[in-house]
């Protein structure tokens, strides 16, 4: 069964590959998008993509996805630590959701160690870079496939 996935990238992720490369790596957002979409397509799934530095845009996109998607892969960026609105939007949509961070937020500055969505998402992957994003995607697809009665790969 083809699943519809929403990939959400928040604050400053448009600068991926250019900003703090020692922490976030040199892969650009466009390169990451190609990797994610290719990986999902290999398993017959479709991906919608939203990237914004504006919290309200992300909240709107998540809300508009209600009833249209089967799962969410989200890296809220800096909104991880501040956005009750994104948390509430995820709760409203109520689909399997994986939170992913390129860096290990638990080993960074104190203010970055708290995620306002960690307790409401299906799972969290942090600190594994681009491979972690792809593992998160695989896990989300496995969860959705299993729920639909399909094989886990």
E-state strands within the chain = 4-11, 46-51, 71-77, 97-101, 123-126
DSSP 3-state of 118: coil
Mark whether 3 is an active-site residue: no
Mark whether 24 is an active-site residue: yes
Q: Name the catalytic one among 9, 24, 45, 106.
A: 24
DSSP 3-state of 79: helix
CA angle 38/32/109 to nearest 5° reads: 145
Q: Name the catalytic one among 3, 9, 45, 101.
A: 101
Report the catalytic residues: 24, 101
């Amino acid at each position: 069964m083809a699943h519809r996935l929403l990939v959400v990238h928040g604050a400053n992720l448009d600068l991926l590959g250019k900003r703090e490369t020692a922490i976030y790596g040199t892969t650009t957002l466009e390169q990451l998008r190609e990797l994610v979409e290719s990986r999902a397509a290999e398993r017959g799934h479709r991906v919608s993509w939203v990237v914004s530095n504006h919290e309200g845009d992300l909240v709107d996109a998540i809300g508009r996805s209600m009833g249209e998607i089967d799962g969410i892969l989200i890296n809220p960026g800096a909104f991880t630590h501040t956005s009750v609105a994104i948390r509430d939007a995820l709760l409203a949509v109520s689909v399997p959701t994986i939170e992913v961070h390129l860096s290990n937020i638990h080993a960074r500055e104190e203010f970055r160690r708290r995620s306002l969505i960690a307790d409401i998402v299906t799972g969290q992957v942090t600190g594994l870079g681009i491979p972690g994003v792809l593992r998160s995607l695989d896990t989300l697809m496995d969860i959705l496939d299993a729920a639909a009665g399909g094989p886990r790969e």
